[in-house]
Amino acid sequence: MSSVFTEISGGLNAPAGFLAGSIYCGIKATNPDKPDICMIVSEGPAVAAGTFTTNKVKAAPVRVSRANLRWADEVRAIVANAGNANACTGISGIETAKRMTSAAAKGLGLKSRQILVCSTGRIGVQLPIEKMEESITQLASLVHPSGSSAAAESIMTSDTVKKEIAVEVYLSSGPVRIGGIAKGAGMIDPNMATMLCFITTDACVEKAELQQVLSVSVEHSFNRITVDGDMSTNDTVLMLANGKAGNSPLRVGTADFEVFQRGLDHVTLSLAKMIVEDGEGVTKFVEVHVNGASSFSDARRAAEAIAKSCLVKCAWFGEDPNWGRIMDAIGYSGVRMREELVDIYYDGILAVKGGVASSTPMQKLKQAVSHDRFRVIVNLNLGSAEYNVFTTDLSTDYVTLNMGE
Amino acid sequence: MSSVFTEISGGLNAPAGFLAGSIYCGIKATNPDKPDICMIVSEGPAVAAGTFTTNKVKAAPVRVSRANLRWADEVRAIVANAGNANACTGISGIETAKRMTSAAAKGLGLKSRQILVCSTGRIGVQLPIEKMEESITQLASLVHPSGSSAAAESIMTSDTVKKEIAVEVYLSSGPVRIGGIAKGAGMIDPNMATMLCFITTDACVEKAELQQVLSVSVEHSFNRITVDGDMSTNDTVLMLANGKAGNSPLRVGTADFEVFQRGLDHVTLSLAKMIVEDGEGVTKFVEVHVNGASSFSDARRAAEAIAKSCLVKCAWFGEDPNWGRIMDAIGYSGVRMREELVDIYYDGILAVKGGVASSTPMQKLKQAVSHDRFRVIVNLNLGSAEYNVFTTDLSTDYVTLNMGE
């Protein structure tokens, strides 16, 4: 099954013709020596695709990048900063985001609308654009063919590890490569997480097809993770494709398109899982899988209700297999259900049969919940629809980390 | 305005003709000497009204009480236990709830369908009905005219203080009294909280009118509180009216009906606020008031999104006036909004004007959030609909309290 792709090293630079790098310009006040801006550049022409937060409060860079994605036929670079979200910053914020693209364009000899821009960090504070512009222009000459890790590190906020992956995908015409980096940590919720993800590929794909393959991939990865149920104003996934692999353009419906989709899905799902595992204060990584639902939307609502329940997540933190709280969450999710049909498993061990306690000894259930990673399976036994979500426990550290800036 | 009623002492026993009491029968394993069952009895005929959880997973006592409320013209007593929710307990659970009503009926010389029953505590464990039955029957002869406080104490789970209130209401024909007790603490969410509330009145009200006045009152009180966003399987508000005050029956549309409504609203809102203040691990009591919304349902959705946001609540715990997280929550709530029109106030102090930071010094905002109680006002500046919710911060103690049983 997985022989259509292989994981390789190199991150964003694994695909041919991409440069990356980072620089310090003084936004992250608490980490004065750490780079806080990254840049990713295609050496030749490229097309781009993107998916953005569905929050109605959209950060300025989200608005600017969406417009550039829509109107520019060719996009060549991404510039992103951490430490300040440039959200709720009004007209000035839009101006600042545009000045970031102009500063990058100046250094790269491109037009500003060929640049996409992202920000992540505190909401409601203006970026110090004056001291950023020169650094961004300078960064354009510092990007290099092995800068992926530095870029991944520079966008970390409360992340504790950098998130990077690459795969080689075997199309009928030969291999192509996909690389990606991401940041996450807090405000993680489906549609999408407080996260940024940048993906490069040297495959030849046209703009519309790239958008399609990316949208499908995001739906199965970043839209299925939740840490705290808070959807951010800045969530963005951007992908650049420069065609340097020389394959014939990928067409929807072909076997190669499917293979490419699977390779990309591996990249996005891997990065999504890394975000959950590195969520703020996380001690448990939990997959919630709901099946037997009457409809896809019921399966999703039930899974998300469980994955977001404060009480369920506190119980997991305490390694307490408190399935009553799972039943409760399904009940208030509003999905079609019959209490007396519900079965619940922890890592394959039956906890609830027909809506009541199974005969499994509590000690055995406790053992399942004591693992760092486990899976909760809920069968509503009503239909055939299913959905899965990746989530976490809710720890005292999560609260402490989010008490103040 | 408030001269139509006065707070008085006596709780459930303030209205004429009600007895109450409690007894220990061994359900709360961790508190072996504390009573864990209470009983409330009307000395003469009474009618009853009730509102129940809208969770699709309904505890057995909820099912039994709903049926009794519906089919019995006259209800005389309530029996309730703490320490075990009798939820997700299948057919056996229903049988147990019925046996609780039968045991009470036996002691009181009534029919079992004249008894309402409630349970609160852990989900998914069968009640030890054998050792409860005798105690319940015995309790019927122990209820007395000053047992309200003992009843309020016996239904406490993780509550730290008992919740009790009474008012005298001045109808045109003379005074009537309303008394109530409640328990809350965890699983607190609108529609309704994990809470039990029992209310008595000596006013003469017929069953249909009693249900109407109670439903309205619950909508403005218990349905507007949230601690953790988890709606319980057991939430119940029950009210008994025995007519001992001798007023002519209250009719909808009369001035007396309005006066009675206001008195009852004071009882339910006071108890609802006590539940929030005594929520698990709570250090802040916060009223979220959204106005200027396009519709009532938008106002409610925005207020609830803010009141349930983990990130907003963690910021309050840390006394951080992080209004960006409030903007974020409004944005993902899905309501009609224009970011550039939103104003936000902390206790009357302007934090956000037109979607961006106001000129108020951060220190002044920090001071507002440092109080134990404060009010967040959000004006969407789009229409005239409004809604308010009472909520709390999210503390490390909340997590610790919910880590295990």
Listed by number, the residues of chain B in 247-266 with a beta carbon closer than 8 Å to a beta carbon of chain A are none
Distances (CA, A) of A182 to A118, B31, B221, B241: 12, 50, 44, 62
Q: Strand (E) positions, A172-321?
A: 174-183, 196-201, 236-241, 285-293
Axis crossing angle, helix B207-219 with helix B255-277, rounded to the nearest 10: 50
Closest CA to B352 of B340, B363, B364, B366: B340
DSSP character at residue B341: G
Q: State the amino acid at position B213 in one-letter form.
A: V
For residue B309, give the chain A residue with the closest CA. A230
Output phi, psi for A347, to 5 deg: 50, 45
pLDDT of residue B74: 92
Nearest residue, CB atoms, A124 vs list B310, B324, B335: B324
Tokens of A29: 């006040």
Interface test mutation site (partner B, options A328, A382, A401, max chain B beta carbons within 10 A):
A328
Q: Cβ–Cβ of B317/A403 closer than 8 Å? A: yes
Q: State the amino acid at position A387 in one-letter form.
A: Y
Residues of A in contact with B324 (CB under 8 A): 85, 87-88, 122-124, 233
Touching check for A327 and chain B: CB below 8 Å?
A: yes
Q: Per-residue pLDDT averaged across B279-305, rounded?
A: 92
Say if residue B131's pLDDT is above 70.
yes
In a 3-state reduction of DSSP, which class is residue B45?
Answer: coil
Residues of B in contact with A402 (CB under 8 A): 310-311, 314-315, 318
The DSSP-derived string for A226-261 is -SSSPPPS--EEEEEE--TT-PPPP-TTSHHHHHHH
Q: How many CB pairs under 8 A join A and B?
A: 207
Touching check for A183 and chain B: CB below 8 Å?
A: no
Band of pLDDT at residue B405, cut at 50, 70 and 90 = very low
pLDDT of residue B191: 41
Residues of A in contact with B317 (CB under 8 A): 399, 403
pLDDT of residue B6: 97
Q: Cβ–Cβ of B332/A122 closer than 8 Å? A: no
Q: Cβ–Cβ of B339/A394 closer than 8 Å? A: no
Nearest residue, CB atoms, A329 vs list B230, B357, B402: B230
Say if residue B319's pLDDT is above 60.
yes
Residues of B in contact with A119 (CB under 8 A): none
Nearest residue, CB atoms, A402 vs list B315, B340, B355: B315
Touching check for A305 and chain B: CB below 8 Å?
A: no
Contact (Cβ atoms closer than 8 angstroms) between residue B90 and residue A355: yes
Residues of B in contact with A310 (CB under 8 A): 228-230, 310, 394, 398, 402
Q: Cβ–Cβ of B315/A340 closer than 8 Å? A: no
pLDDT-wise least confident of A385-389, B47-51, B135-139, B186-190:
B186-190
Say if A2-277 and A285-401 have the same CATH topology: no
Touching check for B369 and chain A: CB below 8 Å?
A: no
Nearest residue, CB atoms, A314 vs list B57, B231, B403: B403
pLDDT of residue B30: 61
DSSP character at residue A225: B
Residue B308 CA to residue B287 CA, distance in Å, equals 12
Touching check for A128 and chain B: CB below 8 Å?
A: no
Catalytic (active site) residue A194: yes
Q: Cβ–Cβ of B230/A400 closer than 8 Å? A: no
Touching check for A332 and chain B: CB below 8 Å?
A: yes
pTM of the model: 0.84
Domain boundaries, chain B: 2-277, 285-401
Say if residue B402's pLDDT is above 60.
yes
Q: Per-residue pLDDT averaged across B83-88, rounded?
A: 90
Q: How buried is B190 (Cβ within 10 angstroms: 0-12 exposed, 13-18 middle, 19+ buried)?
A: buried
Residue A208's contacts (CB-CB under 8 Å, 6 or more residues apart) are: none
Touching check for A324 and chain B: CB below 8 Å?
A: yes
Touching check for A395 and chain B: CB below 8 Å?
A: yes
Min distance B118 CA to chain A CA atoms (Å): 17
Q: Per-residue pLDDT averaged across B226-254, rounded?
A: 87
Q: Cβ–Cβ of B403/A309 closer than 8 Å? A: no
For residue B190, give the chain A residue with the closest CA. A332
Contact (Cβ atoms closer than 8 angstroms) between residue B76 and residue B46: yes
Of residues A328 and B262, which shows the higher confidence score?
B262
Touching check for A189 and chain B: CB below 8 Å?
A: yes
Q: Cβ–Cβ of A405/B322 closer than 8 Å? A: yes
Q: Could you read off the pLDDT of B370-383 as tens digits, one per residue?
A: 999 999 999 999 99
Q: Hey, how many other C-beta atoms are within 10 angstroms of the C-beta on A350? A: 16
Q: What is the CATH number of domain B285-401?
A: 3.10.20.340
Residues of A in contact with B332 (CB under 8 A): 54-57, 189, 230-231
Q: Could you read off the pLDDT of B49-75 as tens digits, one per residue?
A: 999 988 888 999 999 999 999 988 899
Q: What is the CATH number of domain A2-277?
A: 3.60.70.12
Q: Cβ–Cβ of B395/A399 closer than 8 Å? A: yes
Contact (Cβ atoms closer than 8 angstroms) between residue B320 and residue A403: yes
Q: Cβ–Cβ of A123/B229 closer than 8 Å? A: no
Closest CA to B305 of B344, B331, B341: B331
Segment holding B330, helix H or strand E = helix B323-332
Say if residue B189's pLDDT is above 50.
no
Touching check for A359 and chain B: CB below 8 Å?
A: no
Q: What is the ipTM of this complex?
A: 0.78
Tokens of A374: 């486990």
Per-residue pLDDT tens, chain A, 405 aa: give them.
458 999 999 999 999 999 999 999 888 766 667 899 999 999 999 999 999 988 888 999 999 999 999 988 899 999 999 888 999 999 999 999 999 999 999 999 999 999 999 998 888 889 999 989 999 999 999 999 999 999 999 988 778 889 999 999 999 999 999 999 999 865 544 443 468 999 999 999 999 999 999 999 999 998 888 766 566 778 899 999 999 999 999 999 999 999 999 999 999 999 999 988 887 778 899 999 999 999 999 999 999 999 988 889 888 999 998 898 899 899 989 999 999 999 999 999 999 999 999 999 999 999 999 999 999 999 999 999 999 999 988 888 777 777 764
- State which of A60-64, B158-162, B307-311 shows the largest mean pLDDT: A60-64
Nearest residue, CB atoms, B396 vs list A58, A357, A396: A396
- Which residues partner with A122 through β-bridges? A84
Q: State the amino acid at position A316 in one-letter form.
A: W
Q: Which one of the listed residues A101, A120, A194, A226 is annotated catalytic?
A: A194
Nearest residue, CB atoms, A331 vs list B55, B92, B334: B55
pLDDT of residue A192: 37
For residue B333, give the chain A residue with the closest CA. A55
Q: Which one of the listed residues B89, B194, B236, B392 is annotated catalytic?
A: B194
Say if residue B401's pLDDT is above 90.
no
| Cis amide bond preceding B274, omega within 30 | no
- Which residues partner with B78 through β-bridges? B40, B116
Nearest residue, CB atoms, B404 vs list A233, A320, A394: A320
Min distance B73 CA to chain A CA atoms (Å): 30
For residue B231, give the chain A residue with the closest CA. A332
Say if residue B249's pLDDT is above 80.
yes
The DSSP-derived string for A20-67 is EEEE--S--TT-TTS--EEEEEESS--EEEEEE---SS--HHHHHHHH
pLDDT of residue A150: 95
Q: Could you read off the pLDDT of A245-259 as tens digits, one per residue?
A: 999 999 999 999 999
Touching check for A370 and chain B: CB below 8 Å?
A: no
Residue A70 CA to residue A49 CA, distance in Å, equals 9
pLDDT of residue B211: 97
Tokens of B195: 């809470």
Nearest residue, CB atoms, A90 vs list B89, B335, B356: B356
